[in-house]
Structure 1
Amino acid sequence: MKTLVVAAALITKGGRILVTQREERDDWGLLWEFPGGTLEEDEGPHECIKRELREELGIGVEIEGICQVVYKRYEGFNILLLAYQCRITEGTPSALGCREVRWVEEEELQGLQMPPADEEIRERFFQRGLWDLGAV
């Protein structure tokens, strides 16, 4: 069974975290997720995050470290999701490759519908008290 490797960015600022909404036509359309994407051939996770955030949000980031790893089984494929703490170094997030981009507070994040792998990242995020990623 094929395993997709996905890299995601956890970016916090002023007590809020950055999330994006998937396009309606995409798998898990209209659900919210942490920004990032699937690694391309011959691409590492850091390269993937930088490329995806530039393409989808128009921002440059510095990757500060890995926060979480999730392995999720789906019908017909698996996902290995690598979540990294990142900091914006250039630009302001804009919805260039997604339906919407939003900074959300803890309570709003808990209420968002997310794909299963992102849900697991969110749950671990709260269980470990990582709301302020500066503590990671």
Structure 2
Amino acid sequence: MKISKKVTSKESFAILREIENRKCPDGVKYSEWREERDRQQTEAIRNLIPEVGLGCTICYYSDRRAATVTKVISPCKIEVTFNQTECIDYYAGDYRILPELEGGAKVFTKRRNGCWVADGQAYKGGVLLMLHYQSHYIDPHF
């Protein structure tokens, strides 16, 4: 599934939601249908178009930080800022994500493979950005 360059952010998310809500049709082997749906879902996630105010997750090695897109510099470069969080249970990894922002902005660039990576870092072992959800977790073992 290719998404044209003229698709808006809301339309790109609508495409993802439509793929996620599909049901397996009768007469089709479930494993084959699921494999195709997962491939289309991954492609749709890679083609999501960011907009200001969109919640996202910055993924480190074992930690995740909740963030929000604060500026779209170009279609392939965005600035994000961390959300404030409230720790509910540190060892269980329960956090409440607050709408207020904290800290300086971090710049991420979209690579040819469709992944968002921190500006100046390699994809392998680098800091990644996930646009389709917002999550926060600090690994208590480090």
**TM-score (structure 2 length as normaliser):** 0.25
Rg bigger for which structure? Answer: 2
Larger fraction in helix? 1
By relative contact order (CA 8 Å, sep 6+), the higher-ranking structure is 1
Larger fraction in strand? 1
